[in-house]
Amino acid sequence: MVTNVAPPRWLLLHIPLLLISYVCLLVAGTIGVLFIIQERRIKRREALAVASRLPSLEAMEGSIYKMILIAFPLLTLGILLGGHWALLTRGRYWGWDPTETFSFVTWIIYAIYLLLRWGRGWRGRRAAYLALAGFGIILLTLVALRYFSPLHRLGGRL
Amino acid sequence: MPFVLGLNFRTAPVDVRERLAIPPNKLAEILQEFKKGSSSEELVCLSTCNRTEVYAEAKNRVQAREALERLLESHAGGTGLARHIYYHESAEAVQHLFSVAAGLDSMVQGEHEIMAQVKQAYQTAHAGGFTGKLLNVLFQRSLFVGKRVRTETGLGAGAASVGSVAVGMAERIFGSLSDRTIMILGAGKMAEITAKHLLAQKARTILVANRTFERACELAKEFGGTAMHFEEGLRQMSGVDIVISSTAAPHAIITPELVRRIMEARKGRSLFLIDIAMPRDIDPAVNNIENVYLYNIDDLEQIVRTNQAKRSIEAEAATRIIQNETREFVRWLGAHREGLRTGLKHADTTDTSTNPPPAAE
């Protein structure tokens, strides 16, 4: 085990990278909720759909995609840096600590979103549900960060 | 106290309105003529295709009214105008202008254009120096009330015809329709063409497919689109965003299998199908496919009816706002007059136009 070596400063990028990525993904998830509401109205032929001031389905779908497209590389890099940090301080790259687990699941979900969209043209309702699922997992990650992770004590001492 | 004199689409048929309509470039000239002829102190003239109204303030109201009536009549170039003309004064005139600005008095309730027209009418009169303290505040207030009614009620939200509902839905799905491709499948009856027209006006690429090729050509010419044979149309459908179907086929020609194939080629991009044929051209089960939105003529009409019902509820809410605002305005006007009469020395230096009454609530 490598002990008490102060990690190099560039590893601190781990934190802002993930924060920015989370903000983008939370925005994507929020638009996802609006998309699902409006899409359902249009599908069910509700008069409310025309009166609504929400943007068009296509515009909302495009924003969700763009947000995820920005967030995904940041998320990937942030997680890799986190792993490197753990390697230096704990002597292991990955330890399935709750935060690490949730991050992994988040990464998988958005990877699936992008693969399906690029490969099979997954858009619309199902894609919005994926964005929403990622949104939920991120919320869980933040809770885990705050309360359950021995490594990441957000708001406490590091 | 202000008064208003004029006619609108309710009181006068279109030929009378036409004769009285004042083109914008002549407005200043007419205002000058009216002011001289009626010895009014303040004047605003609102002339659109649905109404011509003169708002005025005068010391001798009875005389000014008669003079204006005569002037309108001579302007229209004939007699018999009197039975079309309405007249309101004081609070009623205020309420009338507020209703007009809010779009409550329009042919299509809640339409937005009237706000701009009221503003334009006011600005022209103001620029020519025809307005004073009273009409300045009144017209600025009316624009505020119009805006308030539009933000606080749903008046004007929601489309009122099958065509506009179809366009509205298409815009809710795709956003701007300017770079979309529309296919008109089959060339149905005139009544159904409303929807086609509205959509065709907005879209860039229009394809017309019909069993009789000649008819397809005719329609394509009308819309500036491309004509094709019916089968060719079905083949090209994967490149189309909006399909309007009105063939005379006795059974469904667009099946779920066909649409599933199309959607695979479209890589999940949305497809909006409008079925205005009777009997229907498109299998209703098509609506269950992801990213496909199918509306038939009944669905569209149902939405039109819902919107109309909603409009009358919203109109009541709008009327309440207008009544409150009118009361508020009249109270303010009374207080203002009172203030002038009690004779504060610098009363005439206070500029009322910068001091409108406070908003209700």
Give residue-wise pLDDT tens across range A47-94: 888 888 899 999 999 999 999 999 999 999 999 998 888 888 878 888
> Residue B329: inside a domain, yes or no?
no
What average pLDDT does chain B have?
A: 86
DSSP B212-247: SHHHHHHHHHHHT-EEEEHHHHHHGGGG-SEEEE--
Residues B176 and B138 in one domain: no
- The enclosing domain of B178 has a CATH number of 3.40.50.720
- The enclosing domain of B119 has a CATH number of 3.30.460.30
pLDDT value of position B342: 65
Residues B7 and B148 in one domain: yes
Residue environment code for B22-53, b if the CB has 16+ CB neighbours within 10 A, otherwise e: beeeebbebbeebbeebebbbbbbbbbebbbb
Q: Which residues pair with B226 in a beta bridge?
A: B207
> Residue B157: inside a domain, yes or no?
no
Residues of chain B with pLDDT under 50: 345-354, 360-361
Under DSSP, the state recorded for B56 is E
CB contact (8 A) between residue B157 and residue A51:
yes
Residues B146 and B220 in one domain: no
Q: Which two tokens stand for residue B2?
A: 């202000």
CB contact (8 A) between residue A121 and residue B266:
yes
Residues B106 and B21 in one domain: yes
**Which residues on chain A are in Cβ contact (under 8 Å) with B288?**
none
> Residue B213: inside a domain, yes or no?
yes
CB contact (8 A) between residue B287 and residue A125:
no
Contact indicator for B281, B143 with CB cutoff of 8 Å: no
Catalytic residue among B14, B26, B36, B49: B49
pLDDT value of position A149: 63
Residues B194 and B126 in one domain: no
Residues B106 and B242 in one domain: no
Measure CB to CB from residue B268 to each of A43, A49, A124 and give the nearest one.
Answer: A124
Q: How many CA atoms lie within 13 A of B250 on its CB side?
A: 0
Which uninterrupted H or E stretch holds B86?
strand B86-89
CB contact (8 A) between residue A125 and residue B291:
yes
Q: Among A11-15, A102-106, B46-50, B156-160, which is the least confidently predicted range? A: B156-160
B293 → chain A, closest CA residue: A43
Residues B8 and B144 in one domain: yes
pLDDT value of position B158: 65
Interface predicted TM-score (ipTM): 0.84
Domain finish residue from B152, B171, B198: B152
> Residue B356: inside a domain, yes or no?
no
Measure CB to CB from residue A51 to each of B154, B174, B295 and give the nearest one.
Answer: B154
Measure CB to CB from residue B269 to each of A45, A50, A123 and give the nearest one.
Answer: A123
Residues B135 and B169 in one domain: no
Q: Which two tokens stand for residue B94?
A: 């205020």
Residues B243 and B107 in one domain: no
> Residue B244: inside a domain, yes or no?
yes
Beta-strand relationship, B205-210 and B226-229 = parallel
Of B45, B20, B18, B14, the C-alpha closest to B31 is B45
DSSP A94-131: ----HHHHHHHHHHHHHHHHHHHHHHH---HHHHHHHH
Residues B245 and B142 in one domain: no
CB pairs under 8 A between A and B: 69
Beta-strand relationship, B242-245 and B226-229 = unpaired
Range of the domain at B299: 162-304
CB contact (8 A) between residue B290 and residue A47:
no
Contact indicator for B262, B237 with CB cutoff of 8 Å: yes
CA–CA gap between residue A125 and residue B265 (Å, rounded): 18
Domain finish residue from B271, B304, B337: B304
For chain A, list residues whose CB is within 8 angstroms of any CB belonging to chain B.
38, 42-43, 45-47, 49-52, 54-59, 120-126
Under DSSP, the state recorded for B270 is -
- In the residue annotation, B45 being an active-site residue is answered as no
Other C-beta atoms closer than 10 Å to the C-beta of B82 total: 9
CB contact (8 A) between residue B270 and residue A58:
yes
Measure CB to CB from residue A124 to each of B172, B175, B291 and give the nearest one.
Answer: B291
pLDDT value of position A150: 64
> Residue B326: inside a domain, yes or no?
no
pLDDT value of position B93: 95
**Which residues on chain B are in Cβ contact (under 8 Å) with A125?**
290-291
Domain finish residue from B133, B152, B171: B152
Examine residue A150 and say whether the peptide bond preceding it is cis (omega within 30 degrees of 0). no
Would the pLDDT of A130 be above 90?
yes
pLDDT value of position A66: 96
**Structural domains counted in chain B:** 2
List, edge to edge, every strand of the sheet that includes B42-47.
B42-47, B51-57, B3-8, B86-89
